[in-house]
Amino acid sequence: MNMVEKSPAFWRDRLRASVIHLAISLAIAALSALLVFGVWYPYPYREISGGRELFLLLVTVDVILGPLITLAVFNRTKPWTVLRRDLAFVAAVQLAALGYGLWTVSVARPVHLIFEFDRFSVVHAVDVPEEMLHLKPPGIEALPWKGPTLLSLRDFKSNQEQADATLAALAGLSLGARPDLWQPYLLAVPSILKAAKPVSGLKQRFPDQAQRIDAVAQAAGRDAQTLLFLPMNGRKSFWTVLLDPVTADVVGFLPLDSF
């Protein structure tokens, strides 16, 4: 290494380039986080579906490696065409890695919160067989990009259909992931209200969580004693859904296993 490369100005230029690259990387990561956590994985799905850990791992590696590579390759003594080529290559690799990370997170995104006869289940894009997408009812978006939608399962048309669906579920195809069984949420409101239980029973079962239950209800402008609840099955854990006792609208979520 020559004396120019050992000078303070040499390292100052490298550090400046690396810091600028880091600032740009953080800005892009922040915009990506808004998309992931604000649209694809709104609360509580970032907790239930595991998108937070996967996204943070991919983005952290991407944000750190890009500026480090810039620190290694930046050198003002290089011809401008060579330096520009090196930086463009670093940026292209970093953007490709970020794009792959976003694609990975997107295919695992939650697309529906579905009432399944006596519970709620979170269905993810990767869960729904592509060959069954054409079986969805008219008016229902199969794999929405603007966050999970509320759906319900229709009643089975026959004992044979129920038996076939049960066998498919045992083989790994859950009922909620079958577009041929989907229907609008409103059609199941009577069944939801019949299956749901008073929140007072939830408090009795989890007395140490009574304050948290009240807090979630109050955040929605409701009195917990007037609400109903149903268990929810997610990818990583079991939660509880709080419901309006008249409309069955989802009021809030609790990280409680109420099965």
Give the mean model confidence (pLDDT) for residues 47-66: 79
Which pLDDT tens digit goes with each residue over 33-44?
899 988 999 989
Tell me the HSE value of 170 on the side-chain side, using a 13 A CA sphere: 6
pLDDT at 3: 45
Which pLDDT tens digit goes with each residue over 97-128?
888 888 988 998 999 999 999 999 999 999 99
pLDDT-based confidence at residue 1 (cuts at 50, 70, 90): very low
Better-predicted residue by pLDDT, 4 or 68? 68
Which pLDDT tens digit goes with each residue over 12-37?
778 888 888 889 888 988 898 899 98
157 forms bridges with which residues in the sheet? Answer: none
Is 183's pLDDT higher than 70? yes
Using CB atoms within 10 Å of the CB of residue 90, give its burial: 0 to 12 exposed, 13 to 18 middle, 19+ buried.
buried
Which pLDDT tens digit goes with each residue over 128-179?
999 999 999 999 999 999 999 999 999 999 999 999 888 988 888 899 999 9
Q: Is the pTM of this model over 0.85?
A: no
Checking 92-98 for CB contacts under 8 A at 24+ apart, the result is 93/66, 93/69, 94/25, 94/62, 94/65, 94/66, 97/58, 97/61, 97/62, 97/65, 98/28, 98/29, 98/32, 98/58, 98/59, 98/62
Alpha-carbon gap, residue 169 to 149, rounded angstroms: 22
Alpha-carbon gap, residue 84 to 146, rounded angstroms: 38
The tokens describing 22, both together, are: 């880091």
